[in-house]
Amino acid sequence: MEFSTTYLVLAAVFGLFMAWGIGANDVANAMATSVGSRALTIRQAVLIAAVFEFLGAFLAGGEVTATIRKGIIDVTTVADTPEYLVIGMLAALLAAGTWLLVASTFGWPVSTTHSIIGSIVGFAIAGIGVEAVNWGRIGSIVSSWVVSPLLAGAIAFILFLSVQRLILGTEDPFKNAKRYVPVYIFLVGFVISLVTLLKGLKHVGIGLSTGQSYVLALIMGLMLMGIGKMFINRVRMDPTLDKQFHFANVERIFGVLMIFTACSMAFAHGSNDVANAVGPVAAVVGVVQSAGKVGQTSPLPVWVLLLGGVGIVLGLLMYGTRVIATVGKNITELTPSRGFAAELAAATTVVMASGTGLPISTTHTLVGAVLGVGMARGIGALNLNVVRNIFMSWVVTLPAGAILAIIFFFIFKLLIT
């Protein structure tokens, strides 16, 4: 295939740029609740993101990657002109990455999933034809963007009400926090492990029965609970702290829990959103390696996943603080107990979606969860101006990605043909 080396180099560069954008925007808001509630520093958040984003992408990201690279458009329609698929995917990566750079500059927590899917649909309509788009698949993805924030918001609402009833609203919140927070840690370990074992490990050659998955998830949950309990027992009551904020000592215990939920959120995000960068790269690599044959199946090279992981960490490190401020501080005031409810709700929703191959928006899910926690405290706890701006940026993202992709597609087409 002509220009094959050029295509691979461009795919790697644009894929890295897109992954950088995900790190700057999406990982920033995935880590925002931990940083915004002061449970983690930026440096600790980056370290957790680096490890668990990659694990999520590698262990549980295969289903979503398959959807991004071959579920959105019917690739058989470009069997005679494979270069159109290649330059289209390159245009989609560059378009989505460019929009994420713009959004991150303004501190808007937009959806990287919206960005890449809008871009792929844009190039497909302009370069191949409307019939090339798998509209049924697009419909199910779009519906998930509505369902996921509502589901995450509802779970976060219920979780925070349970925290208020079992801990914050009792006569001895500190004692009850020490009693119940390990149970929440068990819940984090069990839910994330179970969904990963049931849905995520098929593509790495591990096939477990449902019973085996439940037993292993139970063991993982209990192990994490034991580790968490060990750290919680080290937290001693400091009466001077409660003079400034009544629940200061309780929130220190929730700070331990937030480390576990931050890990689970990073894992969940990696399993779903790394596909936004590596899916199109994998499509380009597949066409080039098969000498121009457009096939429905192609193996996902390990270097592509590594590229995604490295780009994400660089983006978070270099440019992530703006979006962290929007989600972690500006929507509603977050403490570790509120941040825990939001993060566990969002992580549960995202990992469940990853198992079904639906590329849902982590941004929508987490913002929905933060809104759910805010609603549990009353509508007055929300900064409605910030919420309005976030919703507006979501609406703009799809057409912005599509328009940019169409422009880049025709530029690439002009340069190559």
Query: What pTM value is reported for the model?
Result: 0.78
Question: Higher model confidence: residue 303 or residue 122?
Answer: 122
State mean pLDDT over 332-352: 79
44 CB burial (10 A radius; 0-12, 13-18, 19+):
middle
379 confidence band (pLDDT: 50, 70, 90): low
Which H or E element spans position 401? helix 384-416
- The answer to whether residue 37 scores a pLDDT higher than 90 is no
Question: Higher model confidence: residue 222 or residue 341?
Answer: 222
C-alpha to C-alpha distance for 288 and 303, rounded to whole angstroms: 15
Place of tokens 């409660």: 242
DSSP-derived secondary structure for 191-213: HHHHHIIIIISGGGT----HHHH
C-alpha to C-alpha distance for 74 and 133, rounded to whole angstroms: 6
Lowest mean pLDDT among 71-75, 113-117, 201-205, 209-213: 201-205
Q: Which of 118, 97, 68 is nearest to 300 (CA)?
A: 68
Helices 248-273 and 42-60: crossing angle in degrees, nearest 10, is 40
Question: Higher model confidence: residue 146 or residue 122?
Answer: 122
C-alpha to C-alpha distance for 77 and 158, rounded to whole angstroms: 47
Q: What is the CA radius of gyration of the chain?
A: 22
* pLDDT score, position 97: 94
Place of tokens 């939920």: 261
Distances (CA, A) of 225 to 45, 80, 162, 182: 21, 56, 18, 5
Kindly report the CA angle at 299 between 28 and 361, in degrees rounded to 5?
A: 25
State mean pLDDT over 374-389: 72
199 confidence band (pLDDT: 50, 70, 90): low
- For the chain, the domains span 4-416
404 confidence band (pLDDT: 50, 70, 90): very high
C-alpha to C-alpha distance for 275 and 126, rounded to whole angstroms: 23
